[in-house]
Structure 1
Amino acid sequence: MSAASEATPLAAPGNPVGRSVRDSLIVAKRNLIRMGRIPEMLIFGLIQPIMFVVLFTYVFGGSIQVGGSDSTQAYREFLMAGIFAQTVTFATAGAGAGIADDMHKGLIDRFRSLPMARGAVLTGRTLADLVQTALTLLVLAIVALIVGWRTHENLGKVLVGFGLLLLLGYAFSWIGALIGLSVRTPEAATSGGLIWLFPLTFISNAFVDANQMPTFLRHIAEWNPFSATVQACRELFGNLPPGFHTPDAWPMQHPVWASLIWSVAITLFFRTLAVRKYRSATA
């Protein structure tokens, strides 16, 4: 075992909360600088959601009906909230791979030798991923406007919708952090971060009307935390198609509250597990 890994961090003076915030921001800055030096990370992260927008809009959009409308425009607007939500959740794989890479290179051991808050390493990483996700959402929204997506509510509601998307992405980044700490290589973290996301995003209301699913799948989709954020964004963007029947399940009737509750609960639960795993993995 290296001397760095055996070292005990010295207690830094100052308020513990303020010190933790400061340390987290320093680690976030370090990760943002690293991301800026590797622009391929952002470019490749944009390719997949743009492909989904094009495929579902121009390839599948003409054969999928939602609500009481059969127009392509209605499905295009219905689709975009799902694409946005899928984009922020798929960033989970990148968060897990980044943390696994730091673990693999021994960087975490060097962090432990410094007088810094234990949770700052993970918090800083997830904050940096949140900034990258926000940039990705901005570019994706511009692409969506180009292909014909429009909002029909005021700017305040639209911004709240994007805020819920970022909150969901931040919550899921903690799942990625836990996965990254639990595997041995960045490749395993990437695979582990994606394999469970596909059923989560497709057994939802992201791409099709959940009312058209078999009963048991419909119930899963209605209580899926991913679906709550998608439904909330559709309402806040004014993208519910004419004649659309909102399911009777509580998360679908109160999607904004459901999205907030799910995102906060996921953040608290998986942050606790990730910090605990971090301490045991580097002890």
Structure 2
Amino acid sequence: MPVYLFALSQIQLINTTNAIITFCLLHLLVYPASNLFNSYYDRDNGSVGGIKNPPPANSKMLLLANTLDLAAILVSTYIHPEIGVFVTIYIIASRLYSYRPIRLKQYPFIGFLVIFIFQGAFTFYLSAKASYGLNSMTQHLESFCLIGVPIHKYILAMLASSFQIGAIYPLTQIYQHQSDLDDGVTTLSYKLGYRGTFIFSGLMFGISTVFYYLHFKDLDINSFYLLLIVQIPIIAYFVYWASKVWTDTKNADYKHTMQMNVIAAVVLNLFFIYLILT
């Protein structure tokens, strides 16, 4: 949700109807379908994603994932055929990430890049283009803008989004090293080790902040300063958790991972909602 809200906060013309449809499209169709498809092929028995005790995999999960994906393609095409193409590409990437005969997630760096690109920059641009709107005063721009602004205007924001996702992604793997290995998956977090995961995530977080600065410095530097302030709870918990893992790797567990995710999501969501409203 933070990437979607960030994108919405940065476009000058919002089509409210399309913005609501895009929110539902991503969060009620695309993301649930991706999680179902991934769980079906992972056959997860332990904690995974945001679910502590996932239900056993069965054919109904795959059927529901296919139904949701088909609905997502139809809804996105209704917004605009180009958005339909974007959503289809996202779904294909998500399935290649999880589909067992290919399973890009089993390769630590390729799997990271798929998430880095598609859940970050790609989702930002998709959200911005799908939610962009023209009013009676700007209809003459339609042929020039198509359904959104040129990509170069948002490149720094897109990079900030990707590095932000890159910071969180390894932390979501840190408690699953053994279960992933048992399933034939070597994660980036496993390759980095417990301490290396926190160092890497801290580096990604720092780079993301740099791109936020570069994006906001000529647009609204006060928003960047506010971002630095609101991120204090995220940084504080990150340092607290890292120090606990440094002492005892048993603290690299599901509970701390979910707490980290919730704090980051709540803080960033509230910040971007504030930007949308002001």
TM-score (norm. length: structure 1)? 0.32
Tell which has more relative contact order, 1 or 2 (C-alpha 8 A, sep 6+): 1
CA radius of gyration, larger in: 1
